[in-house]
A and B are shown apart, each in its own frame.
Chain A
Amino acid sequence: MTTVEEVLGLGDDALVAAQRLAQWTARAHELEEDVALANIALDQLGAARLLLSYAGELEGAGRDEDALAYLRDDREFRNVLLVELPNGDFAVTVAKLLFLAAYQRDRYRQLAAGEDERLAGIAGKTVKESAYHLDHAALWTLRLGDGTAESHRRMQSAVDEIWPYTYELFEGNELRPGWLATVEPVLAEATLTRPDDGGWAPRGGREGRHTEHLSYLLAELQVLHRAHAGASW
């Protein structure tokens, strides 16, 4: 049986990732990358809308996608911490996307073959998108890791910074070995060092215990909607 919490987790991951990626708009190093990041943000947002709508239906309390996105507080969000971390420089954004997309692709692939038909339908669409996000992030990991001395330093530091947040992705699932099999060769080809396991592993997002960053992100996302209670847009 699919639980509301589970679908909220998936939907909130996508929504918060979309919000972070949207913050890049008109800030990328090249127009082509502005277009690409906006595409990925749109995919994540599209997935979030489908998943939150479904979560609302499962819950049966009459909440639609907007009620769930705009009228919950940070303690009610179920996303992993990784997605709410600030964008940092482009290397941090690439590291976040690489790790997230590799996980989302495998998670959606699993759900696409799962018993919940509704979820399987959504995941069948989003799994293809995640595969594209993964390609895009992997390509940039290579370019930055194996580019200049500066880009190598930045990419390595981004991987080191984000790696501890990846453990939380695998709470309640068996996807980590497959994920490592995707991510490790990319890091190796990019001449980057894969961080050691066994260190710091922050968690709590799935239970609504987030970083300090999420409340600011939601303040921005929700400010206008909340200022006009009950209005249509």
Chain B
Amino acid sequence: MLQRKGSICNTVMVYGNDFQTSAGDLLGEVEAAEAALREAAGRELAGEAGDAGGHDAGRHGAGDRDPGARDPGKERAGYFDRIISADQKIEPRDDMPDAYRKTLIRQIAQHAHSEIIGMQPEANWITRAPSLKRKAILLAKVQDEAGHGLYLYAAAETLGAAREELVDKLLTGRQKYSSIFNYPTLTWADVGVIGWLVDGAAIVNQVPLCRCSYGPYARAMIRICKEESFHQRQGYEILYTLAHGTPAQRELAQDAVDRWWYPSLAMFGPPDSESTHSEQSMQWKIKRFSNDDLRQRFVDMCVGQVEVLGLRLPDPALRWNPQRGAHDFTEPDYAELMRVISGDGPCNRQRMAHRRAAHADGGWVREAAAAYAAKQAGAEA
């Protein structure tokens, strides 16, 4: 139950913490980001005492402590830039440029929607999981994803975007979710590959977001990344077991890696040469590495891991390049990525129909809960 499980992710509760990490370095980075966040909070307090018109101005309105001494409008504009360049955090009540707010709302909402839609391909295997232990781990993992959706919608709400509004944008197709979830989970091995590659790519993408300039998003990402690293481990272990199991199991594992490798690479988005939002987001410290940098980092990470699995990545061009100090690899098919994003992936229609049906079927329950709450409030008043 929610209250009982406290702050530890459910996957850990069910799974334990008893095997070798495959994402240890990244988890270390999450912890470093968390420490930096605490340190920044300390700096901020120290700064506040000596500089009444500085950081404090944005928080409580210019002139709160020093009335009339500065031009409030100018003060606010300068404040945002100072916070960004000092690597400190923007908080909900701080002044921020409209475009910054909009960019964040869009990004956080799409991330939240991805968590929610992402429940479907894995939930597809909960009722058929091949052992009771695996069933419990998978159920807990999918439940964690619902929790991630909740944290992220809450972070978006701090920017003034109501959850109902964002959910409506998802249901009406005005906001997107990660294209990876438009691929089907055809076998049990896909559950392992989603944990290893999809959660793995999500971690590589999201660890830098733990240092994002918007405080509530950075804090949500720290919590999420810690849980994602357990998700990645459980997926890796499913695959490891399959790859070292019967010939039929091994075949399931290789087939799943073959099908998910390129879609996972495409999770990092279009190549830098075609990416539209990147530059401004970098300046605002919402984004800190380019799509191509993150993709390279992911490939380099997977090469060692796939060897331990005893499986192969479906890329004949994959090899170490000593000049670059990185692996050369075949890029994913970006035309396919664009087709999936625009709605023509294998499961776009199915995922949206499922989400809309769940929402529509639950309409009478939400109405009942609201009516009951109103009656209770009326009785108390």
Which A positions have Cβ atoms within 8 angstroms of B? 15, 19, 22-23, 25-36, 38-43, 45-46, 48-49, 52, 65-66, 69-70, 89-90, 129, 132, 142-144, 146-148, 150-151, 154, 220-221, 223-225, 228, 230-233
Contact = CB atoms under 8 A, between A and B. Distances in A.
Interface stretch (B52-60, B76-84, B121-129, B213-221): B121-129
B146 A34 contact: yes
Given A39-B143, A143-B368, A69 B132 contact: yes
Contacts, number: 151
Given A35-B2, A132-B1, A30 B366 contact: yes
A90 B362 CA distance: 8
B278 interface: no
Of the candidates B129, B146, B366, B373, the one having the most CB atoms from chain A within 10 angstroms of its own CB is: B146
10 contacts: A23-B127, A29-B358, A29-B362, A34-B119, A39-B1, A42-B10, A150-B367, A151-B364, A221-B128, A231-B248
Contacts of B116: 26, 31
The DSSP consensus for interface residues of chain A is helix
B147 interface: yes
B134 interface: yes
B2 A30 contact: no
The 6 closest A-B pairs by CB, nearest first: A29-B362, A147-B368, A151-B368, A38-B143, A29-B365, A26-B119
Contacts of B153: 31
Nearest to B153: A31
Interface residues of B, number: 53
Contacts of B104: none
The DSSP consensus for interface residues of chain B is helix
A41 B245 CA distance: 29
Nearest to A224: B130
Given A42-B139, A151-B367, 8 more contacts: A41-B139, A42-B140, A48-B132, A49-B136, A142-B372, A150-B368, A228-B246, A231-B249
Interface string B142-157: 1100110110010000
B290 interface: no
A225 B127 CA distance: 12
Given A38-B143, A39-B1, A49-B136, A147 B249 contact: no
